[in-house]
A = this chain, B = another copy of it.
Amino acid sequence: MIAGIELGGTKTVVAVGSSNGSILEEWRFPTTLPNETLGQAIAWIRERGTPDRIGIAGFGPVGIVKNRETYGKILATPKVGWAGFSITDLFASAFPACKLVLDTDVNAATLAEAKSGAAAGLDDVVYITIGTGIGAGILSGGRLIHGALHPEFGHFKVPRMTGDDFSGVCPFHHDCLEGLASGPAIAARWGMPAHELPSDHPAWDMEAWYLAHGILAVVAIVPPSRVIVGGGVSQSESLHPKIAKYLNQITAGYFGFSETDGFIVPPALGQEAGIRGALQLAIS
């Protein structure tokens, strides 16, 4: 038996699964304080047995670089009670013989989408989420990239669209990709939240232009076979083809993909991605 936990900012999902990663049973409940939330998850798992392996997908920022003192802990967060809390210490004391694998929620979702979702069977996949911030999970050669620093996909700079003088909303870098194209950036730029903007609003053209430039950097640095674009802001129906159109224009055919070949796709697993990914982490 294996177990998985998707620890989200507002809800937590816990599941037990079989050794191939499929879900046998799951339970969703609200995320409250750390000891209470994780205590409920641990008790629920214990009622079902003792897992050999547990995969944990944590909301960010969470320390995932091994051999760092931050490993296993929730880092700076406005969520009351969570900053500095060690998820792995609590699970290690609850299940001392169990192997724990911790990763970010977006990395877990990337693994799930690459196993059985929008990039099923592919080894080189980037999953970009656009919501309150802009984050990414990167699977390269079948392995999730972690790197050595605090990974923050959205915080690099892209060119400005001609005529755009919006100052950007990132408190650190103003007009990095996240500062120009996250959900709060769209809301500040257009005076209404992304989900209220109709799909023919010019906001989506600009959003696609900026995302295409961000994806271009990913394509040049860790060439993926497919890029999944998800998160709340991505749910405008016209966004994915617009990104593909701009990406194709700016790459000028150089990287060998076309705007119509499914290189830019939405996620396929919906709400199930996180918990499925947590189980994939457990067996990875």
Q: Provided the pairs A159-B159, A213-B157 are in contact, do residues A223 and B255 lie with their beta carbons within 8 angstroms? A: no
Stretch in A9-17, A133-141, A235-243 with 4+ CB within 8 Å of B: A133-141
Residue A221 interfacial (CB < 8 Å)? yes
| B146 in contact with A254 (CB, 8 Å) | no
CB proximity to B under 8 Å, residues A172-209: 172-173
Residue A154 interfacial (CB < 8 Å)? yes
In the complex, what's the smallest C-beta–C-beta distance from A275 to chain B, in angstroms? 25
Q: How far is the CA of A217 from the CA of B216 in the complex (A)?
A: 10
Q: Provided the pairs A159-B158, A216-B157 are in contact, do residues A145 and B222 lie with their beta carbons within 8 angstroms? A: yes
Q: How far is the CA of A250 from the CA of B136 in the complex (A)?
A: 21
CB proximity to B under 8 Å, residues A96-144: 122-124, 136, 138, 140-141, 143
| A149 in contact with B221 (CB, 8 Å) | no
In the complex, what's the smallest C-beta–C-beta distance from A173 to chain B, in angstroms? 6
Q: Majority SS of interface residues in chain A?
A: loop
| A148 in contact with B124 (CB, 8 Å) | yes
Q: How far is the CA of A151 from the CA of B147 in the complex (A)?
A: 19
Q: Provided the pairs A152-B255, A220-B152 are in contact, do residues A146 and B157 lie with their beta carbons within 8 angstroms? A: no
Name the one of B172, B173, B252, B256 contacting A173, with C-beta atoms under 8 angstroms.
B252
Q: Provide the residues of chain B in CB contact with A257, threshold 8 Å.
A: 149
Apart from A155-B251, A158-B159, what 18 extra A-B contacts exist at CB < 8 Å? A138-B221, A143-B143, A148-B223, A149-B223, A151-B223, A152-B220, A152-B255, A155-B216, A155-B254, A155-B255, A156-B216, A156-B219, A156-B220, A157-B216, A159-B159, A172-B252, A221-B222, A222-B222
Can you list 6 A-B contacts with CB-CB less than 8 angstroms, sorted by A residue number? A140-B140, A140-B145, A148-B224, A149-B255, A151-B220, A222-B222
**What 5 pairs between A and B have smallest CB-CB spacing?**
A147-B223, A149-B223, A124-B148, A148-B225, A156-B220
